[in-house]
Amino acid sequence: MPNTADIEKLIKLANSKTATVQDVFEMIYATIQDFTVEREDHYLNELKAKHKKGLTSKRTNADEYAEHIYNSIEADICDFVNCYADEAIDGVLDAKNEKRITSKLATTNMLTMLASLKEAYKR
């Protein structure tokens, strides 16, 4: 699911002497936002394909579709974030073991942020 290149960019950014915690958060947020837009587009295209003749005029059907799409996107985002955080944690630990991350503070900050992210997106 997550792009390995995105995780490598995140590790490089976290290891940068000029990067701030806010920079790292913004990169993580942008990755999650890109995935969210992708899933929204996917479900809307799926809905269009199923209903080429248009949606029924009943409000309850529209509400049901909207709720289904919202719940599906929410579940996908939770799965993505947890997978992303797991892979990023593995990447940070690997980079630390390989001495690609030299800052103990950067490692601690990254692991704390990623663990907090997992906690926030628990299902």
* pTM more than 0.75: yes
DSSP 17-82: SS--HHHHHHHHHHHHHHHHHHHHHHHHHHHHHHTTT---S-HHHHHHHHHHHHHHHHHHHHHHHH
Residue among 101, 92, 99 nearest 28 (CA): 92
Confidence bin at 40 (pLDDT 50/70/90):
very high
Number of structural domains in the chain: 1
Domain range enclosing 76? 4-120
Rounded distance between C-alpha atoms, residue 14 and residue 100, angstroms: 11
- pLDDT tens track for 68-91: 889 999 999 999 999 999 999 999
